[in-house]
Amino acid sequence: MEAKRNPSVVIIGAGMTGILMTIKLREAGITDITLLEKSDRIGGTWRENTYPGVACDVPSHMYTYSFEPNPEWSNVFARGHEIQQYFQKVADKYGVSEKVRLNEAVISSVYKDGKWTVKTSKGDTIVADFVVSATGILHHPAKPDIPGIDTYAGTMFHTAEWDHSIDLRGKRIGVIGTGSTAAQVIPELVDMGAEVSVFQRTPQWIFKIPDGLYSEKMKERFRQNPNMMNRRRVWFTRSLEHIFTKAVIGRKVQRKIMEWGCKLNLRFSVKDPELRNKLTPDYQVGCKRLIINNTFYKAIQKPNAHLITEGIERIDETGIHTKDGQHHELDVIVLSTGFDPTAYMRPMNLVGKEDLNIDDAWRHKVRAYRSLMVPNYPNFFLMLGPNTPIGNFSVIAMSEVQSQYIIKLINRWRENLFDEVEATETAVDRFMAYIKAGLSSTVWVGGCKSWYLDADGDPILWPYTWGKWVKEMAEPNLADLSTRRVVAAPAIAAETQPMARGKKRKETVTAE
Ligand code: NAP
């Protein structure tokens, strides 16, 4: 039997998706993998976000790799530091830690004739057959463009760049923003005795799911019987799939359940009608990403918490001026203002065919075929790209599906069916039309503003069911892809031998 070609693969980023991709490629028998990480530790989001209260609002037994259940989760919703430890442990167990090249950012990736040339911050150049961008979605802090922000003389930082050197106890802290992050951090600041002013531009819907501790006895049962964890994982996945996911894509009954859940939570958690009124959104539940939280409403009613809804006019040296003419003196300003979700691998210089830079390719719209592939960028995959079914669901589950899709295509390359594969422009147009058709019945187009929307106001989410996505991602549809031979097909090299590169034979073999 003929040996398969062994491709070289560069993976950019050693967060949840990069670790996963490395493990799955190895399982598939691919050994020439370079995993590059810009930071000094692996972990991505969970390395970067260390703000007080950081936790995952997807249930912990669902927020795990399917092949590596974790009996040690402390809570129904795992805390940030233990998620970071989990990824470290998995990376150690699967030999990813010893492979990853830390403190080495990718400066540029340039494609030419079947090869990617990747340059790193350490001055190294790697030539690879495939590049997988595993840089995540929410890692470019969005800093607000508020007049006077640069004149502030106190301490100011974004939640993803938390300054742990400052003792916040007893300080006057202004938190700008009321998203999922703010809902986690504000109760911690209030509990540590700070005087916390919350600057809310838009109220948010909050859904409560009890967050219990897993007892030692329970953890022991999980250790003894991993199937129990799997059952829990499946149960959470089904519940989220059939209630939350279906609610946001337009199923009436599920939408009502979510609406009732949020409204009752607000009604029973906040006693003062005036405060309740200020906390009541005027848009549909789920239009912005639903906040899953049990502590924010309690915290905002404490005497050292102040909800300010008048709108920020400007910032000066000592604090924040609101539109009602008030000046709020502050020692610290915390920017809980979210992220730029469509920056992806940038500022890396990504150059595809015909010297096309990604900034030019995406000048009019950030788009990708099946979230993963961009025309003119052959043998390049973008994990968690636009229209992945993000939202209140596990991004780990999504990444596992995407990793299998990528491996199926790489396997075809290994079988020597082509040297180059990319999505066609027509396929992307068709895919985007398909997405657009589904979006009209979703809750995201209800008129609210959120990070779900791109610059044109189009949601960057998947508007159909989770099941449909999994089904459609099960096999690459080769009719949507263009494949090409770049080098003369050599006698198949042995698994461990690098592929001989010979004469170019530019023959387009668009697959059936
Ligand atoms: P976010 O949801 O985008 O919220 C940003 C907040 O900042 C909003 O309240 C926004 O107000 C406000 N804001 C932005 N610019 C402002 C300005 N110039 N003036 C006043 N307010 C301004 O960001 P996030 O809370 O960091 O959450 C982002 C995402 O991270 C979440 O949706 C979630 O996907 C993820 N996350 C997940 C977890 C988890 O447990 N899994 C935890 C935290 C975060 P408007 O609403 O008016 O725009």
Residues 258 and 273 in one domain: yes
- 224 falls within a domain: yes
What separation in Å is there between the alpha carbon of 183 and the centre of ligand 1? 9
For ligand 1, is residue 97 a contact (CB within 6 Å)? no
- Among 312, 335, 358, residue at a domain's last position: 335
Q: Which of 304, 319, 335 is the last residue of a domain?
A: 335
**Cα–Cα distance between 452 and 473 in angstroms, integer?**
22
Which one of 62, 84, 201 would you pick to mutate in the ligand 1 pocket, going by the greatest count of ligand atoms within 8 A of its CB? 201
- Residues 329 and 364 occupy one common structural domain: no
Closest CA to 21 of 6, 34, 2, 40: 34
On whether both 166 and 221 belong to a single domain, the answer is yes
Residues 217-255 have pLDDT tens digits of 999 999 999 999 999 999 999 999 999 999 999 999 999
Q: Examine the domain organization and report whether 133 and 238 are in the same domain.
A: no
Q: What's 422's domain CATH number? A: 3.50.50.60
For ligand 1, atom 3, name the residue with the nearest CA: 338
- Residue 130: its pLDDT value, please? 98
pLDDT < 70 regions, the chain: 1-2, 487-512
Query: Domain count of the chain?
Result: 2
Ligand 1 centroid–CA 177 distance in Å is 6
Q: State how far the Cα of 301 lies from the Cα of 304, in Å rounded to an integer.
A: 8
pLDDT at position 490:
53
Q: Are 355 and 366 in contact (CB under 8 A)?
A: no
Question: Which of 224, 229, 247 is CA-nearest to residue 67?
Answer: 229
Instruction: Return all residues near 499 (Cβ < 8 A) that are at least 6 apart.
Output: 5, 6, 7, 129, 487, 490, 493
Strand order in the sheet with 332-335: 155-158, 332-335, 172-176, 195-199, 305-308
Structure-block tokens of residue 262: 């949020």
Indicate the helix (H) or strand (E) that contains 89.
Answer: helix 80-93
Residues making up the chain, counted from first to last: 512
Q: What is the structure's pLDDT at 1?
A: 52
What distance in angstroms lies between residue 336's CA and the mean position of ligand 1's atoms? 6
Mutate to test the pocket of ligand 1, among 181, 312, 444 (most ligand atoms within 8 A of CB): 181
Burial of 310 (0-12, 13-18, 19+ CB in 10 A): middle
**What is the maximum alpha-carbon separation in the chain?**
79
Among 313, 335, 357, residue at a domain's last position: 335
Tell me if 77 is assigned to some domain: no
What pLDDT, on a 0 to 100 scale, did the predictor assign at position 494? 43
Q: Which two tokens stand for residue 63?
A: 């927020």
Does any domain span residue 326? yes
Q: How far apart are CA 311 and CA 177, in angstroms?
A: 11
pLDDT at 4: 87
- What pLDDT does 211 receive? 93
289 Cβ inside 6 Å of ligand 1: yes
Q: Model-level pTM?
A: 0.93
Residue 470: domain span: 8-42+96-140+340-498
Report if residue 345 sits inside a domain. yes
* Domain identity same for 244 and 287: yes
* CA 343 vs CA 137, 255, 444: distances in Å: 8, 31, 21
Q: Are residues 113 and 180 in the same domain?
A: no
Question: Are 29 and 164 in the same domain?
Answer: no
61 within domain boundaries: no
Distance in Å, CA 25 to ligand 1 centroid: 34
For the segment 299-353, what is each residue's pLDDT rounded down to a tens digit? 999 999 999 999 999 999 999 999 999 999 999 999 999 999 999 999 999 999 9
Whether 338 lines ligand 1, by a CB cut-off of 6 Å, is yes
Within this chain, do residues 175 and 276 fall inside the same structural domain, yes or no? yes
Which residue has tokens 């899953």?
A: 292
Going by alpha carbons, the residue nearest to atom 2 of ligand 1 is 179
Distances in Å between the alpha carbon of 347 and those of 108, 116, 358, 362? Answer: 9, 17, 10, 13
Residue 433 falls inside a structural domain: yes
420 lines ligand 1 (CB under 6 A): no
> Is residue 33 a part of any domain in this protein?
yes
Whose CA is closest to 47, among 85, 73, 10?
85
Q: What is the pLDDT of residue 448?
A: 95
- If asked whether residues 380 and 331 sit together in one domain, one would say no
Atom index in ligand 1 nearest the CA of residue 146 equals: 18
* HSE-up of residue 479 (Cα within 13 Å, Cβ side): 2
Q: Are residues 228 and 322 in the same domain?
A: yes
Q: Are 317 and 373 found together in one domain?
A: no
Residue 180 Cβ < 6 Å to ligand 1: yes
Task: Give domain status of residue 206, yes or no.
Answer: yes
Same domain, 305 and 156: yes
Q: What is the pLDDT of residue 488?
A: 54
- Is 42 buried (19+), middle (13-18) or exposed (0-12) by CB count in 10 A? buried
